[in-house]
Structure formats: C-alpha cells, structure tokens
Structure 1
C-alpha cells in the first residue's frame, strides 16, 4: 500500500469520493465532464479483495491504473499463457487490456482504488 493508505477502509474511500456500488462488486464513479455517449470515458473503480475476481471478455480496449491502496494485477488471457501486469498505487503506470481478450483484475491487498479508461460500462449505463 502507499504511505497512509492503510489508514483508510474501502468504505471510507467510497464515501469520501462519492462512489456508488458497482453491479459487479466494489464501487465506481464516472469522472466529471464525461459524456455518457462518448466513445471512451474515465472512471474510478474501487476493487475489494473480498470480491471473487471474475474473468470478463473485452469488447474494446481498456486501460487501468492503481491510484491508491494495494497494487493491482491485470490478468490477460488471449488464447496462450495468461499474461500478468501490475500497477502499484500512485506509480502512474497504465495497463492495457486489448479488445477480444478475457481479463480479470486482482487487488494485491484489501482494496485498490483504480482508474479505468474505456467504453462506457454497460452494467452502469
């Protein structure tokens, strides 16, 4: 975790950032100034370790980073061996999930506040 992040619980982060429950688990918020019909939008996702990370198909490219909390591992399956890439909280590293792949996000601690840039999430639109 980043310095001081262990002072917060996932519920406190969600409350302070005005995040809403996400239908797939955890919390989310679309960042201000995003158009609902835009090709790509930016949003926060608070991913909690008590969720069972699910593999989901990508119908478009997605980019992910970890802002706060534990490191985030992006697992990518494209028909060969599963590739893994990590972003530590606050390191500014963006990971790309390619269109057509199956991916899952795995926080490496109790919770990760992540950033997502992608097509609007069909579960929340």
Structure 2
C-alpha cells in the first residue's frame, strides 16, 4: 500500500473543511429519533493534519473516534468530575495505543 499524504486523503475521501478545524465528510445519517428532528446517529470521516488540533469543547451527543492511518493522536477527555482521561489513538496496541475511543455526551 502506498503511503498517502493528508492532502491525498482529503482529496480521495472528498473531505471538506470542518468548522472546528480539520476536514470531514458525513458518511451516514440515521432517521430522526425525537421531536427535535435530530438524527439518532451519524458517522463522519474526520482528519486532523499534522499541525491541526481540535480545541476543548463539550459534545451534545456521544462521539466514537476511530484511528485509521497516519500518526497517533492523543485524545483528551474531561468528564464532569474534572479528571482528564488521555487515550492515545493509533496502531501500537503493545504500547497502549488503541484504534478507537468514546467521548460521552456532556
């Protein structure tokens, strides 16, 4: 498999700039589940290039982060009790990297 640059991935997956930095494309949208008309769930591709970061923010729905390629990513989550949890997303399971992590609503 040929190593792809971030620009290659953005082009091949037809990603668009994300409002909070990075690039994304929605790949799935479930039917609305409540009176607010909001989808029960969605899925996106999301890419942060080498010098991009996602700033601290609250999420109003659970997020599942998946690592597919590139450098490992440190995902920091601060639950309501204020004790930050860091998960290194990446391929090196032996050294405590994980291919997926959940960020809970709130």
TM range (shorter): 0.7 to 0.9
Number of aligned pairs? 95
State the structure with more CA Rg: 2
Query: What is residue 47 of structure 1 aligned with on the other side?
Result: 48
What are structure 2's unaligned runs of at least 5 residues? 33-38
What are structure 1's unaligned runs of at least 5 residues? 101-125
Matched residues in 1 for 2:104 and 2:17: separation?
A: 26
Shift of 1:66: 0.5
Task: State whether structure 2 residue 104 is matched by structure 1 residue 98.
Answer: yes
Matched residues in 2 for 1:55 and 1:81: separation?
A: 14
Matched residues in 2 for 1:9 and 1:51: separation?
A: 14
Which structure carries more strand by proportion? 1
Matched residues in 2 for 1:49 and 1:22: separation?
A: 15
Root mean square deviation of aligned Cα? 2.5
Given that 1:66 and 1:90 are in contact with CA atoms closer than 8 Å, whether structure 2 keeps it comes out as: no
Shift of 1:36: 7.2
Given that 1:69 and 1:89 are in contact with CA atoms closer than 8 Å, whether structure 2 keeps it comes out as: no
Matched residues in 2 for 1:81 and 1:55: separation?
A: 14
Matched residues in 2 for 1:36 and 1:13: separation?
A: 28
Task: Pick closer, same or farther for the CA change 1:20–1:85 going to 2, 3 Å.
Answer: same
- Cα displacement string for residues 67-125 of structure 1 (whole angstroms, at most 9, x for unaligned residues): 1111222101123321101221597732011111xxxxxxxxxxxxxxxxxxxxxxxxx
Give the TM-score, by structure 1 length: 0.64
